[in-house]
Each structure stands twice: as C-alpha cells, then as structure tokens.
Amino acid sequence: MRLILACALLFAAGSLPAADYANLPGGRFASVLPADAKTADTIVAPFALRREPVTNAQFLAFVKTHPQWQRDHVASIFAESRYLAHWQSATTLGNDALPDQPVTQVSWFAAQAFCASENARLPSWNEWEFAAAADATRADARSDPAWRERILNWYSRPSNAAVARIGGEANFYSVRDLHGLVWEWVDDFNALLVASDSRDQNDPDRLKFCGAGALNLRDRDNYAVLMRVAMLSALKAADTTVNLGFRCARSTTPGTTP
C-alpha cells in the first residue's frame, strides 16, 4: 500500500501540480438564457470549477502524454488548422506562448479531451454563468452598473493585444479570470441560441427549429454576458480563436460523473 502511494507521489512530482478547483454551491439562478426559454430560473447543481483557466504549460503537458492532440497529429474534424498555431512546435511553446498564459487556439474537442484527462469535464453554460456572476465580494453582482461597466471595458480592448497571464483578482468563490482574460468554451456551446420554433410552412428559412416555444434572452441590458453567448453560438466545435481558452469543471453531487 505504502509502495503504491510512494509511486503515485513520484509520478505526481514529475508532472505539474494538480489543478486547483473551487467548490461552488449552485442554487436557483436567473440565467440570461431562461430554462424554459421564457422566464424560469435555472437550478444549478453544486459543482467544482477550476480556479484558473488552463495554461499553455498545462496544455503542453497534456499533448506530450496524449500525442493524438498534438497539432500535427490531430484529425481536422476535431481541430482546424489554426489549432495551437502560435506554439513554436507541436511540443514546444516558444516565445509567443508563455507557460502561465491561458492556452488559446484550442478547439472544443481538444478542451473536452484535456478536461477528461484530469477527471473533469467542460462546465455547462449555466455553471460558467453562475460563477461569473460574482465579483470579489458578492455572489451575484450582475445588477451593479459598475460591474457591468468594468467587464464591458475589457470586451472593448483590441483583440490583437497579447493575452495576459493568469492570476487576476479572485472572485467571491475564489475563482479567477472569468472576465478580462479570454473567452472560454462551455460544454453546451452548441445549445445556447437555438432560435425560435417556427410553424410557418411557407417560409423555408424559418423551418429550422423544433420544440416548444421560442428562446428568449432575459436581461437584455447585460451586454457583456450576451456578447459571450453570441460568440459561443457562432462557433463550430473544431474552431479555434486567439482569445478562446477554457477551464474545467466537476460535478460534486454524489453519484454523478465526474
């Protein structure tokens, strides 16, 4: 038993320290995307979220042990040609990708695979939104105009500026860098803006969607969050962008995976 433990420690010592996750309580939450597509609150189950986005150094360690995710091995259906293109080589970061910068230019599939490798998954949109509603002292600061202003200022920064390093101010849940650093993938990125149901047979353009009722955006003044919804909705799963990274989540309710 002790030997196994020693081996495990030896292995751990050879790699990066285990990622740090914060526990979030979940609860009733007023999402900008109401659960019933009208006004209903969303119930977010308790979950754990990575305190910081995944860094270049962490993603490099991952591709070294998972060569199928190196940029010269990955199938194009899982990651387009710009995947990790800013790295010096498939297994070297180089000058344009600092170890403690968040990794960007990663596809949804690659992000999913990384999270699975640390026994986690991508957060759902609602989980991400729940965590990102906090400021340093409040669980939900979204109605504060000053909070909105601060976030909007980040979105107005030119996208060709270098991505900062991780380690911004911790929020109420001790999670960092949800705003102000990179956009982040969520597991259900392709579920956010499924437009209205149409029963009008005469307009083929409107015959794209099925289900009960139109999807409405609530809280239309929360531009910062709505911009994120719009951006994520425009993506395909193999896409990468210079400002799009990710962090992972875990379910903490007993009996769920992971």
Partner 1 sequence: MKFIRLLTIVLVCVASARAAELPGDSVYRLPVALTDQDGHAFHLADRAGKPQLVSMFYTSCQYMCPLIVESLKRTQKAVAATGALKPAVLMVSFDAAHDTPEKLKLVFGQRKLDATTWTLAHTDAASVRQLAAVLDIQYRALPGGDFNHTSVLILLDAQGRIVARSEKMDGVDADFVAAAKKVLAQPAN
| CA–CA gap between residue 119 and residue 250 (Å, rounded) | 8
214 vs 197: CA distance, rounded Å: 5
- CB 55 → partner 1: shortest distance, Å? 24
Output the smallest distance, CB 229 to partner 1, in A: 12
Q: Is 119 in the site for partner 1 (CB under 8 A)?
A: no
What is d(CA 204, CA 88) in angstroms, rounded to the nearest whole number? 47
Written as one string, the DSSP assignment of 46-111 is: PEEEESSPPBHHHHHHHHHH-GGGSTTTS-TTTS-TTTTTTSSBTTB--TTS-TTSBP-S--HHHH
Rule CB under 8 A: which of 124-183 touch partner 1? none
Looking up tokens 């006004």, which residue turns up? 39
Helix (H) or strand (E) holding 10: helix 2-14
Q: Which is nearer to partner 1, 29 or 78 (CB)?
A: 78
Q: How far apart are CA 91 and CA 75, in angstroms?
A: 17
Identity of the residue, 118 or 188, whose beta carbon is nearer to partner 1 in the bound complex? 188
CB of 144 to partner 1, least distance (A): 29
Cβ-based nearer residue to partner 1, 131 or 215:
215
The residue type at 19: A
Nearest residue to 135 (alpha-carbon basis) of 153, 148, 152, 124: 148
Nearer to partner 1, 175 or 215 (CB): 215
Q: Binding string, 12-51, against partner 1, x = CB under 8 A?
A: -----------------------xxx--x-----------
User: 30 vs 139, which CB is nearer to partner 1?
Assistant: 30
CB of 96 to partner 1, least distance (A): 25
- Dihedral angle computed from the Cα positions of residues 210, 211, 217 and 223, in that order, rounded to the nearest 10 degrees: -40
Q: Which is nearer to partner 1, 152 or 197 (CB)?
A: 197
Q: Which of residues 191-210 bind partner 1 (CB under 8 A)?
A: 191-195, 197, 199, 201, 204, 207-210
112 binds partner 1 (CB under 8 A): yes
Residue whose tokens read 């020693």: 6
C-alpha triplet 79, 258, 130: angle, nearest 5°: 80
Residues 208-247 that bind partner 1 (CB under 8 A): 208-213, 215, 233, 236-237
Taking residues 65 to 94 in sequence order and writing x for each that binds partner 1 by CB under 8 A, - otherwise, the string is: ----------xxxx----------------
Contact residues for partner 1, defined by CB under 8 A: 35-37, 40, 75-78, 108-109, 112, 187-188, 190-195, 197, 199, 201, 204, 207-213, 215, 233, 236-237
